[in-house]
Amino acid sequence: MLTTEFIERLARRGIALLLLGLAIFVVLKGDEVGFETELLALAPTDNRSVAQQSAAVQLGADFQSRAVFVLSGLEAPLVEAARAELVANLSEIQGVQVVDDALLQRVLPPLLTDYRFHLLSPAQQQLLASGDLQAVLQNRLADRLGLGGTPQILPVAVDPMAWHSLTLVDTLLSLQTKERDVTVSAFSVILPSKAFDEGYQRQLLGLVEDITSGVERSFVGVSVLKGGLFFHAATAASAAKASVVMISVVSVIGVVLLLLAVFRSTLAVLIPVLSVALGIASGFVAAHIAFSGLHVMTLVFGASLIGVVVDYSLHFFVHERLAVKSGSRLQLYRALTLSLVTSVVAYGVLAGSGLAILAQVAVFSGVGLAAALVAVMAFCPLVSHQLSLNDGPIVGALERLIIGLRGVPIWLPAGVAFAGLIVTLSHYAAIVEEGNDPIQFVPKDTNQLANESRIDRQVARYEPGRFVFIEGQSVDEVYTRTRAFFEKLENDFDVDASQFFSLTRLVPAAASQKNNYQLQRVIYGADGVLEQFVGVTGLEVDTNELNQAYLKNEKQLLTPSEFVVGLEGIIPPLWFEVSDVTMNVVLVPQGADWEAIRSATEMVEGASMEYVIERSRAGLRDKKATALMLFFPVFAVVAAFLLAVYRRAKALLIALIPALSIACVTAFFALVAWPITLFHVMAMYLAIGLGLDYGIFVFEFRAHEYLAERAVVVSGLTSLLSFGLLGASGIPVVQGFGLTLLLANAINLLGALWLAAWLEKGEKMFRLSHST
């Protein structure tokens, strides 16, 4: 049989196991603990094809890992010298790879050497296609014997005529940065993968800042701009940390002062603080294990748990006198457990939001609350008998408020909730369409945003985050469709397709490569151009070996995926072969005609536009719409749950509390045209859990005047404090989350007190009717 003592004993064993588990985690994983700050981790998952998702993820990861540096000044030589120093210093940071033309020149030749017999520039193709061997020979002799000449990229023994070197020069020119102004010099760096681990990030940011400011000091007149998601993430992490510190410190101080004021005992502070600490530690460990790491934003939201977790201790202490009278805490524990279950159900909806960050919050908070409850059951009984409730002022105010609320008929809150629902539904389209901008995840760093704008204007050639995807079942099909896409752009829309970047221009299609091979037989055949060239110049090279190499490499065709792998990190991943789908990613030039591109993609099979920001926006919008619609089934489930537990229709009034708060808050935002984000909606789910908590306690203890209400008021005040602090954060999503909870929980509190008044009136009338 379940008894209070059994439950408390079980709880203490549970705590012992929990502490053991925490200790094991610290020993085994303590040094792995860190926080992730990647902003793309906050993006919603989507339902595109596997190839498109793979491309989006890899492009996103590549984009995230790059930082751009732009130097500008009045004198080109000074800018060049400053660039050389900046490159040298950044290269010394472990894990940082400078990606510039020098790297390209080192990496490209060895990559393409084995494929040289299949690659030709358009000018070379034209020269060979003319069939005029003498013209080819003259061309090479003039180049090698004249002033200047083609860079000897491949060794003389392999390429005596610098013929293949000429092809490579053409390829290099296509990939190299073309600076519009000699007084502006730019390059990018690839950051190590741990650049988004919060601890390393701070270090790296500090190093980069020192190096760039050092260069600006040494080269007066040269300024260095930095751009890239890394710097935004660093700002966001910094703001997140500041939020956590503020919320944690102020929240804890506030809660401690409130508890001291109500209970006038340090014991009353110790146990709640202990339950908060255990709750947060358990939530942290659980989320860390479930997700192999924790995003710093999870910690920000989790910090608000302080106000919720402390409720369990409050309810315990407030209901202790009843427990003493009845000799059992079973009713209290039942209420606490029901409260936990409804909260976990609400958090469970977060877990299914499709947003990784909210799934982390769900696990963090759900486990944290459960651990805190177990801690309360384990420790509170040890000290509660020593506490006395000094809530005179609260009870006085409470009594007056409840008397005032007695006059509020049931149809009023129900009617207001219904009116709120109607207002919300009438603004539904606007609610769904607005407030979906992914920029809400980062605090507004106007300096960094201005830098990004200047960088874009000065050096960006292609639109960041916007691409054209061209898919097909085979490499050849993708080449054909890519060609068709460019032809559509040029012929139907008068768009200069040569400004677009496509790997298909650097790596010829298989048929072209075979054609190039055939064209070069005039060079490598008997009495070919090569033999004649060596005869004239007297170079000491083994032409027989070179001719044999030509014959052996007939089948050595270069594929786009080999090219991308060979240049990994230097160019973004622009070619994907996933399952049986092949995809080419085309880069779009800055200032391109998007309508024309959109139309062209619609006319070419397999072509589609990809706009990362728009995709995120659409994802957030869809998730928000789904979350809004889920309110109805969630309330239905809650109603069924309440009926099943309490077996009376009156219990449905518990659900009216959060229904009222959600309807009012949503209607308010709609009426003042305040954009509702997905985070506002998720906060509403938490408010449902909180409202149900208050309602359950008020309903459970309705026979005991002002008992549950006291706990609800004090609990409500602590929650309002911590959510209010979230509302003061500099991060827009956190601010929205906190503000929503603040408003909704204030209405929850009022609703709970109304329910208490209504139930009390009902009880009095019942007693009156039975006494007569």
Partner 1 sequence: MALVAAQSWAAAPEGWLVEQDCRFVTDFTQTRAFPDGVNYLKTAGKLYFDCDRGLIWSMESPIVSAQVFLLSGAMYYVDSTDTVSPLENPIQRKVGRLLSALLQGDRQQLEAEFRLLEGAEQLVLEPSVGQLRRALRRIVIREGSEAGGRIVLIEQADGQSLTVAIEPPRTLGEGQNSGGSCNKALGPVSQQSCLILQLASE
Which of 56-64, 179-187, 367-375, 706-714 is the region at the interface with partner 1 (rule: CB under 8 A)?
179-187
Q: Residue 16 is encoded by which pair of tokens?
A: 């012992």
Q: Does 412 bind partner 1 (CB under 8 A)?
A: no
Three-state DSSP at 539 gives: coil
Nearest to 513 by CA among 566, 567, 475, 570: 475
Q: Are 105 and 172 in contact (CB under 8 A)?
A: yes
Q: Does 22 bind partner 1 (CB under 8 A)?
A: no
Encode 595-633: b = buried (16+ Cβ within 10 Å), e = exposed: eebeebbeebebbbbbbbeebbbebbbbbbbebbeebee
**Of 82 and 336, CB closest to partner 1:** 82
DSSP secondary structure letter of residue 45: P
DSSP characters over 289-332: HHHTSEEHHHHHHHHTHHHHHHHHHHHHHHHHHHHHHHT--HHH
**Of 77 and 762, CB closest to partner 1:** 77
Please pick, from the candidates 138, 218, 453, 473, the single residue that binds partner 1 as defined by CB under 8 A: 138
**Residue 575 bridge partners (DSSP):** 584
Q: Are 174 and 587 in contact (CB under 8 A)?
A: no
Q: How far is the CB of 85 from partner 1 (least distance, A)?
A: 14
Q: Are 72 and 55 in contact (CB under 8 A)?
A: no
Q: Does 129 bind partner 1 (CB under 8 A)?
A: no
Which of 34-42, 142-150, 306-314, 563-571 is the region at the interface with partner 1 (rule: CB under 8 A)?
142-150
Please pick, from the candidates 4, 52, 89, 150, the single residue that binds partner 1 as defined by CB under 8 A: 150
End-to-end CA distance of the chain: 39
Q: How far is the CB of 108 from partner 1 (least distance, A)?
A: 13
Q: Rounded to an integer, what is the distance from CA 446 to the centroid of its chain?
A: 20
Residue for token pair 């003259």: 138
Q: Residue 427 is encoded by which pair of tokens?
A: 């603004």
**Of 143 and 477, CB closest to partner 1:** 143
Please pick, from the candidates 46, 62, 80, 463, the single residue that binds partner 1 as defined by CB under 8 A: 80
Q: Does 179 bind partner 1 (CB under 8 A)?
A: yes
Residue for token pair 């009216």: 656
Beta strand spans in 387-539 (E): 462-472
Q: How far is the CB of 139 from partner 1 (least distance, A)?
A: 8
Rounded Cα distance between 111 and 567, Å, is: 8
**Of 45 and 218, CB closest to partner 1:** 218
**Of 169 and 460, CB closest to partner 1:** 169
Please pick, from the candidates 144, 466, 481, 624, the single residue that binds partner 1 as defined by CB under 8 A: 144
Please pick, from the candidates 9, 17, 19, 77, the single residue that binds partner 1 as defined by CB under 8 A: 77
Rounded Cα distance between 44 and 558, Å, is: 36
Q: How far is the CB of 122 from partner 1 (least distance, A)?
A: 12
Q: Does 146 bind partner 1 (CB under 8 A)?
A: yes
Please pick, from the candidates 157, 249, 412, 671, the single residue that binds partner 1 as defined by CB under 8 A: 157
Q: How far is the CB of 76 from partner 1 (least distance, A)?
A: 5
Please pick, from the candidates 119, 128, 136, 153, the single residue that binds partner 1 as defined by CB under 8 A: 153
Rounded Cα distance between 437 and 447, Å, is: 20
Q: Are 350 and 624 in contact (CB under 8 A)?
A: no
Q: Residue 166 is encoded by which pair of tokens?
A: 């000429």
Which of 150-158, 400-408, 421-429, 719-727 is the region at the interface with partner 1 (rule: CB under 8 A)?
150-158
Please pick, from the candidates 23, 50, 145, 551, the single residue that binds partner 1 as defined by CB under 8 A: 145
Q: Does 152 bind partner 1 (CB under 8 A)?
A: yes
**Of 109 and 354, CB closest to partner 1:** 109
Site string for partner 1, 609-648 (x = CB under 8 A): ----------------------------------------
Q: How far is the CB of 141 from partner 1 (least distance, A)?
A: 5
Which of 72-80, 372-380, 447-455, 549-557 is the region at the interface with partner 1 (rule: CB under 8 A)?
72-80
**Of 177 and 561, CB closest to partner 1:** 177
Helix then strand count (H, E) for the chain reads 31, 10
Q: How far is the CB of 87 from partner 1 (least distance, A)?
A: 11
> Which residues in 488-547 contact partner 1 (CB under 8 A)?
536-541
Q: Are 373 and 337 in contact (CB under 8 A)?
A: yes
Q: How far is the CB of 526 from partner 1 (least distance, A)?
A: 22
Rounded Cα distance between 616 and 44, Å, is: 7
Rounded Cα distance between 286 and 364, Å, is: 7
Three-state DSSP at 236 gives: helix
**Of 80 and 605, CB closest to partner 1:** 80
Which residues are CB-contacts of 265 (< 8 A; sequence separation ≥ 6)? 386, 387, 388
Three-state DSSP at 44 gives: strand
Please pick, from the candidates 57, 76, 395, 549, the single residue that binds partner 1 as defined by CB under 8 A: 76
Residue for token pair 């006291």: 710
**Of 153 and 318, CB closest to partner 1:** 153
Rounded Cα distance between 524 and 534, Å, is: 12
Q: Residue 194 is encoded by which pair of tokens?
A: 């741990």
**Of 169 and 289, CB closest to partner 1:** 169
Please pick, from the candidates 5, 32, 101, 602, the single residue that binds partner 1 as defined by CB under 8 A: 101
Please pick, from the candidates 151, 221, 415, 633, the single residue that binds partner 1 as defined by CB under 8 A: 151
**Of 62 and 143, CB closest to partner 1:** 143
Q: Does 110 bind partner 1 (CB under 8 A)?
A: no
Q: Does 392 bind partner 1 (CB under 8 A)?
A: no
Q: How far is the CB of 495 from partner 1 (least distance, A)?
A: 27
**Of 123 and 636, CB closest to partner 1:** 123
Q: Does 98 bind partner 1 (CB under 8 A)?
A: no
Q: Does 124 bind partner 1 (CB under 8 A)?
A: no
The site that binds partner 1 (CB under 8 A) totals a number of residues, namely 35
Helix (H) or strand (E) holding 187: strand 184-190
Q: Are 520 and 549 in contact (CB under 8 A)?
A: no
Rounded Cα distance between 500 and 502, Å, is: 6
Q: Does 66 bind partner 1 (CB under 8 A)?
A: no
Q: Does 149 bind partner 1 (CB under 8 A)?
A: yes
Q: How far is the CB of 154 from partner 1 (least distance, A)?
A: 10
Nearest to 486 by CA among 475, 496, 472: 496
Nearest to 131 by CA among 621, 622, 518, 574: 518
Residue type, 128: L
Q: How far is the CB of 166 from partner 1 (least distance, A)?
A: 9
Q: Does 337 bind partner 1 (CB under 8 A)?
A: no
Q: Does 185 bind partner 1 (CB under 8 A)?
A: yes
Which residues are CB-contacts of 521 (< 8 A; sequence separation ≥ 6)? 528, 550
Q: Residue 38 is encoded by which pair of tokens?
A: 């990647």
Site string for partner 1, 23-62 (x = CB under 8 A): ----------------------------------------
Residues found near partner 1 in the complex (CB under 8 A): 76-77, 80-81, 83, 101, 105, 123, 138, 141-153, 155-157, 160, 179, 182, 185, 536-541
